Amino acid sequence: MTRQQAVAALQRALEISRELAAVADTGDLRLTVSLDAERLQLLKFARAAVHPMDEKDGAVLREIAALNDRALGFLEHRRRAKGRDMDMVAVGKRALRAYSSTQAQR
């Protein structure tokens, strides 16, 4: 692989990272996982050929890392929200069972 191909792979990984962050914000987990796998392959492809790394390549990798952190933050936020929703459903079910048993006694 040439350095030019590796740089192109890094640029494509950056584009995918931008898309991945947007998709993670919407909560589409399947597409997020798919994009992440595609990006991983590009980064592996580019790793060997982009050595030594110049400042431009380093900046691209830093942006990819920042976008990855952002996507992980979106996913973590959604996971916690889903957990809170599940907790509220459990509380509602317990209340319904408690209320239902008092109605049966009347």
| C-alpha to C-alpha distance for 92 and 37, rounded to whole angstroms | 39
- Per-residue pLDDT, averaged over 62-77, amounts to 95
- The tens digit of pLDDT for each residue in 21-67 reads 999 999 898 999 999 999 999 999 888 777 777 889 889 999 999 99
Contacts of 2 (CB under 8 A, 6+ apart): 49
Nearest-5° Cα angle at 68, 64 to 74 = 145
DSSP E strands: which ranges in 1-106?
none
Q: Residue 99 above 90 pLDDT? A: no
Per-domain boundaries in the chain? 3-75
pTM of the model: 0.76
